[in-house]
């Protein structure tokens, strides 16, 4: 099966022998990692109020 490299869009064979999958190369893998580190990508989330954080803290305290 072939997939598209998320970084360069090159067609990549999805096999166990590809150590960089879903990327085509270590370079594309590191470019993606750098984008996460620079906060270019974000996971959507709702803002949490300080009161909610206090409730979570109290509920998870051991």
Find out whether 2 is annotated in a ligand binding site. no
User: 48, 41, 39, 8: which is closest to 24 by C-alpha?
Assistant: 8
Per the annotation, does 30 bind a ligand? no
Distance of CA 15 to the CA centre of its chain: 20
Residue 21 annotated as part of some ligand binding site = no
Q: Is 24 annotated as a binding residue?
A: yes
Q: Check if the beta carbon of residue 1 is closer than 8 Å to that of residue 14.
A: yes
**Binding site feature residues:** 5, 8, 24, 28
Residues making up the binding site for Zn(2+) = 5, 8, 24, 28
């Amino acid at each position: 099966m072939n997939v598209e490299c998320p970084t360069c869009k090159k067609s990549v064979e999805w096999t166990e022998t590809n150590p960089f999958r879903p990327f085509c190369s270590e370079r594309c893998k590191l470019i993606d990692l750098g984008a996460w580190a620079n906060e270019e990508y974000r996971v959507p989330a709702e803002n949490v109020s300080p009161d909610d954080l206090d409730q979570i803290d109290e509920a998870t305290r051991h």
